[in-house]
Structure 1
């Protein structure tokens, strides 16, 4: 499974910590995704995965989530892409 990052952004504030968004597409999936990343201090990251523009199949999003959970390279790439666009408030 391969992915392509479409866009990335991240903000930082003392109140919210780091909040990032990365939109991406996965080869052979009909719909694009957005992963939202959050870390209070920039070390331990939580995420939420959603379809970007319109809903797709549950099977596709579960496969995408499984890949993110199992593939540290994917997750790290999403975090780094967002961090590269960091804007401090």
Structure 2
């Protein structure tokens, strides 16, 4: 699965921990995605996957989600993109 990262950001506060967002496209998918990330200590990440602008195929969304669950390198690529934009408050 080939990704094109459009935008990434992450913030850190003592109260909330790490909160990030990554906007990306997947080759062959007509709709872009947004992944939100959260971690208290930047070790284990919780995430949500959504369509970025408008709803699209639920099958494609589930395909991306399944791939993120199975492919640690792909998931880490998105986390690292957000971490590179880290702003501490």
What RMSD, in angstroms, separates the aligned Cα atoms of the two structures? 0.6
5+ residue gaps in structure 1?
Answer: none
Match of 1:30 in 2: 30
Match of 2:50 in 1: 50
TM norm structure 2: 0.97
- Other structure's SS at 1:31 match: coil
Whole-angstrom distance in 2 between the partners of 1:76 and 1:50:
18
Whole-angstrom distance in 2 between the partners of 1:88 and 1:44:
19
Q: Is 1:83–2:83 an aligned residue pair? A: yes
**How many pairs were matched up?**
89
5+ residue gaps in structure 2?
Answer: none
Match of 1:72 in 2: 72
